[in-house]
Amino acid sequence: RPTSNRENHTSPVTCNEGESKEAAGAKNIENGAHLNGTQQYLPHIIIIGVRKGGTRALLEMLSLHSDIAAAESEIHFFDWENQYKRGLKWYLNQMPFSYPHQLTVEKTPAYFTSPGVPERIYQMNSTIKLLLILRDPIERVLSDYTQVFYNHKQKNKSYPPVEDLLLKHRELNTDYKAINRSLYYPYMENWLKYFTLENIHIVDGDCLIRDPLPEMQKVEKFLNLSPQIKASNFYFNKTKGFYCLRDGGRDRCLHESKGRAHPQVNSFLMGKLQDYFYEPNKRFFELVGRTFDWL
């Protein structure tokens, strides 16, 4: 089996850099009801975030693999007290029915930034495989803003222009939640108290948008899955401006809420955002021993 070749230093980012990983170390957990040879399992893999990082695209693309069984909705088990109180049996019951050779995966993007979640997941399974998809923190802020903007619009409510929210007295308004969620390193530090980088694979969300196949091949390796995902599983949809999926002759793009245009940001605000994220990004690169195309 291939072993990890990750070294403890930063290296220039490319979208195609190869990376080998140990086996997924999947652990079967009893209790799921049986149905036609299928059973429910606690997840062997969790997509922990980040919100607006491309978590749905990652889950859908991973589901192209026949050895993957994915929970359709976001479970919010570890971050919502009322769900967590229901216990692991409840969590198990939210999982899809799958065959014994399949790996179960769920995605809840809010896990990454929820302080108590790493410990709770560790208590459930200390060798679980975690997938974290990150994108340029500034793009993530704008994507987050766009999401909230449309949530308001749907309810016929207005939402302030991006400049009004992100600037206060001509300085960056660091109280704005979306800015805080893009400060990846403190959250990552919390995860690394419980898991090593051997357990956490970071997917480059910007690369996944531009060229999904190489990113997905790295994910297959990390999970020790057979190489099944192929170039023919993707086609670029010019109208949407994103790659869509082709699965057994079935074509599908992500929901229209994925891939929306972001607001234009003036150069003053962009400069403020770039200054603000420069140091935190560097700290994040040091923490994870690799760089991303964000600076």
Ligand X SMILES: Nc1ncnc2c1ncn2[C@@H]1O[C@H](COP(=O)(O)OS(=O)(=O)O)[C@@H](OP(=O)(O)O)[C@H]1O
Is 18 annotated for ligand binding?
Answer: no
Q: Does 195 bind ligand X (CB under 6 A)?
A: no
Is 86 flagged in the annotation as binding? no
DSSP for the chain, written as a single string: -------SS-----S--------------S-PPPBTTBEE---SEEEEE-TTSSHHHHHHHHTTSTTEEE-SS---TTT-HHHHTTHHHHHHHTSPEE-TTSEEEEE-GGGGG-TTHHHHHHHH-TT-EEEEEE--HHHHHHHHHHHHHHHHHHTT-----HHHHHEETTEE-TTSHHHHHT-HHHHHHHHHTT--TTTEEEEEHHHHHH-HHHHHHHHHHHTT--S---GGGEEEETTTTEEEEEETTEEEPPPTTSSPPPPP--HHHHHHHHHHHHHHHHHHHHHHT---TT-
**Does 181 engage in binding with ligand X (CB under 6 A)?**
no
Question: What's the closest the beta carbon of residue 30 comes to ligand X, in angstroms?
Answer: 31
Asked if 233 interacts with ligand X (CB under 6 A), we say no
Nearer of residues 29 and 138 to ligand X, judged by Cβ: 138
Is 92 among the residues that bind ligand X (CB under 6 A)? no
Per the residue annotation, which of 21, 52, 218, 272 is the catalytic one? Answer: 52
Q: Is 137 in the site for ligand X (CB under 6 A)?
A: no
Asked whether position 218 contacts ligand X by CB under 6 A, the answer is no
Show contacts with ligand X in window 43-82 (CB under 6 A): 51-57
261 marked among binding-site residues: yes
Q: Does 242 bind ligand X (CB under 6 A)?
A: yes
- Figure out which of the listed residues 258, 280, 286, 287 binds ligand X, where binding follows CB under 6 A: 258
Binding site for ligand X (CB under 6 A): 51-57, 109, 143, 146-147, 208-209, 242-243, 254, 258-260
